Amino acid sequence: MSTGTLEQRLTVQSQTSAIQRRRALRNILRQSWLWAIIILGLIFMVTPGIWMVLASFKTRAEIQAVPMQFWPESLRFENYARAIEYTKFPRVFLNSLLVTVAITVANVFTCTWGGYTFGKLRWPGRDTVFLLLLTTMMIPGFLTLIPRYVLVAKLGLLNTYGGMIIPFLTGTFGIFLTKQYMNGIPNDLTDAATVDGCSALGVYWRIILPLSKPIIAVLAIFVFDWAWDDLLWGIMILTDREMWTLPVAIANLRAQVGNQFEYQMAGSTLSVIPVILLFIALQRHIVRGVALSGLKG
153-203 pLDDT, tens digit per residue, is: 999 999 999 999 999 999 999 999 999 888 888 888 888 888 888 888 889
Is 146 in the same domain as 193? yes
Helix (H) or strand (E) holding 44: helix 3-55
CB-CB contact of 191 with 120 (8 Å): no
Is 179 in the same domain as 245? yes
Is there a domain that residue 71 lies in?
A: no
Residue range 263-276: mean pLDDT, rounded? 89
Number of domains within the chain: 2
CA dihedral angle for residue 179, residue 184, residue 185, residue 186, rounded to 10 degrees? 130
Is 168 in the same domain as 211? yes
pLDDT band at 295 (very low <50, low <70, confident <90, very high): very low
| pLDDT for res 286 | 65
CB-CB contact of 261 with 55 (8 Å): yes
- What's at 194, amino acid-wise? T
- What's at 185, amino acid-wise? I
Q: How many CB atoms lie within 10 A of CB 28?
A: 10
Is there a domain that residue 65 lies in?
A: no
The number of residues making up the chain comes to 297
Is there a domain that residue 69 lies in?
A: no
CATH of the domain at 163: 1.10.3720.10
Is 186 in the same domain as 239? yes
Is 150 in the same domain as 45? no
Is 30 in the same domain as 160? no
Residue range 44-50: mean pLDDT, rounded? 87
Give the C-alpha distances (Å, rounded to integers) separating 140 from 131, 143, 166, 234.
17, 6, 19, 18
Share of the chain above pLDDT 90, in %: 32
DSSP 151-203: HHHHTT-TTSHHHHHGGGS--HHHHHHHHHHHTTS-HHHHHHHHHTT--HHHH
DSSP 223-250: HHHHHHH--HHHHHH--SGGG--HHHHH
Q: Is the pLDDT of residue 133 over 60?
A: yes
Least confident of 2-6, 149-153, 254-258, 263-267: 2-6
Is 138 in the same domain as 256? yes
Is there a domain that residue 226 lies in?
A: yes
For the chain, how long is the longest CA-to-CA vector?
A: 100
Is 32 in the same domain as 143? no
Is there a domain that residue 36 lies in?
A: yes
Q: 179, 164, 170: which is closest to 108 by C-alpha? A: 170
Range of the domain at 13: 3-55
Alpha carbons 94 and 186: distance in angstroms, whole number: 41
Is 91 in the same domain as 184? yes
Is there a domain that residue 70 lies in?
A: no
Is 45 in the same domain as 137? no
pLDDT band at 107 (very low <50, low <70, confident <90, very high): very high
Q: Is the pLDDT of residue 105 over 90?
A: yes
| pLDDT for res 292 | 55
Is 18 in the same domain as 126? no
Spell out a b/e string for 162-190, using b for 16 or more CB atoms within 10 Å of the CB, else e: ebbbbbbebbbbbbbbbbbbbeebeeeeb
Alpha carbons 290 and 209: distance in angstroms, whole number: 17
CB-CB contact of 79 with 229 (8 Å): no
Is there a domain that residue 73 lies in?
A: no
CB-CB contact of 251 with 96 (8 Å): no
Residue range 142-155: mean pLDDT, rounded? 91
Q: Is the pLDDT of residue 2 over 80?
A: no
Q: 96, 297, 286: which is closest to 180 by C-alpha? A: 297
Q: How many CB atoms lie within 10 A of CB 115?
A: 25
Is 23 in the same domain as 105? no
My answer on whether omega of the bond before 67 falls inside 30° of 0, hence cis, is: yes
CB-CB contact of 102 with 161 (8 Å): yes
Is there a domain that residue 72 lies in?
A: no
| pLDDT for res 9 | 66
